[in-house]
Structure 1
């Protein structure tokens, strides 16, 4: 596989609370979008992904059930973030989204919480592989609003689920069989707040170079305001 990553503070935020993890040696690629007070979001997102990478690397050689191992590690990471938020005043109320993919050959397992996303681009089609755990995401799923209304909804950043906000939280697990040429995009909402899925697909399918692709995606989001931190990893199956 080939991959490229990029992250940017955007044009409004003072700091970057997003984190990413690219560990091709264990097939792990993940993005996390932290939330909280001064630097707390950055602590939440980096703590979650560092714990995930370190512990997944330890268990992968011996595990036969990657889904169970992934969930167990993320549940432990959740408790670690939650304890930090309760033990230190400056971290009170922090949390983070996590969208993590583990590639095993042409099989992908995704663990997800929050409103970061994973997309599959296959041929001329783009498919969102994850569901947003957000107020607007739920309203959209149940027909309360249209996709057009969701794009500019004033509560689009209100999460219904996030890591570190409670001692125990629920992660979604998705599996996907892949084909040569498939491209998988992991991204924080700083990207999708400015680009529709169809626009993301057009940029990805029009470029061969992954580094150039993620730069064009980033530059487009920045040109449209860059209202949030923007982070993405693009993986291509060979």
Structure 2
């Protein structure tokens, strides 16, 4: 498998609260978008992915059920963030999105919370694998607003679920069968807010080198304002 990763603070924010990880030795790839007060979002997102990376590797050696193990480690990471938020005033109210994929052979085990996303690019199609856990996304799903209204809604960043906000939390879990030449893009909303899925697909199709794909996606997002931090991990199945 091939992979590339890139993050950028954007053109508005002073700090980067996005985190990402790529551990090809175990097939783990993830992005996280933190929220909270001064530096708390950065702590939340980095804590989530660091805990996942440090504990999943050993857990997979002893557990036969990959999906159960991935979700258990995520719940433990959630409790770690919740405890930090509860015990330290400077971290009060912090949380993070997480979209994490574990690729073993041709199976993708995907765990998700928040409004970061995973996309599957296969042939001439791009498919959003995750559902956004946001107020605007729920309004859109239930027909309360149109896609055009959702794109510019003043509450588009209000999350309905995030990691670290409660002792236990509900994650979405998916298992997807992959094919050779599939590409999976994990990204935070700093990218999504500036590029539509079809635009992402066209960039990825036009650039055979994964590093160049992410460079071009970042360039476009920054040209369109770069209003938020951006984190991306792109994986190609061989």
State TM-score, norm by structure 2: 0.99
d(CA) in 2 for partners of 1:104, 1:130: 19
d(CA) in 1 for partners of 2:43, 2:77: 12
Superposed displacement of residue 148, structure 1: 1.7
Superposed displacement of residue 187, structure 1: 0.1
Q: Deviations over 1:32-85 (max 9, x none)?
A: 000000000000000000000111001112221111111111111101100101
Where does 1:142-221 land on structure 2 (aligned, <5 Å)? 142-221=142-221
The answer on 1:51 being equivalent to 2:51 is yes
d(CA) in 2 for partners of 1:57, 1:106: 18
d(CA) in 2 for partners of 1:105, 1:145: 40
Root mean square deviation of aligned Cα:
0.6
Q: What's 1:66 paired with? A: 66
Superposed displacement of residue 168, structure 1: 1.0
d(CA) in 2 for partners of 1:19, 1:214: 16
The answer on 1:13 being equivalent to 2:25 is no
Superposed displacement of residue 10, structure 1: 0.3
Superposed displacement of residue 31, structure 1: 0.3
Q: What's 2:94 paired with? A: 94
What's the secondary structure of 2:46's corresponding residue? helix
d(CA) in 1 for partners of 2:10, 2:191: 10
d(CA) in 1 for partners of 2:101, 2:45: 16
Superposed displacement of residue 144, structure 1: 1.1
Q: Deviations over 1:159-187 (max 9, x none)?
A: 00000011111000011111111000000
**TM superposition outliers: structure 1 runs of 4+ over 2 Å:** none
Q: What's 2:224 paired with? A: 224
Superposed displacement of residue 191, structure 1: 0.2
Where does 1:97-108 land on structure 2 (aligned, <5 Å)? 97-108=97-108
d(CA) in 2 for partners of 1:90, 1:186: 29
Q: What's 1:84 paired with? A: 84
What's the secondary structure of 1:220's corresponding residue? helix
Q: What's 2:40 paired with? A: 40
Unaligned runs of 5+ in 1: none
d(CA) in 1 for partners of 2:152, 2:176: 30
**Matched residue count:** 238
Which stretch has the larger CA shift, 27-36 or 64-73? Answer: 64-73
d(CA) in 1 for partners of 2:198, 2:162: 27
d(CA) in 2 for partners of 1:179, 1:77: 30
Superposed displacement of residue 143, structure 1: 1.2
Unaligned runs of 5+ in 2: none
Q: Deviations over 1:186-210 (max 9, x none)?
A: 0000000000011001101111000
d(CA) in 2 for partners of 1:220, 1:186: 17
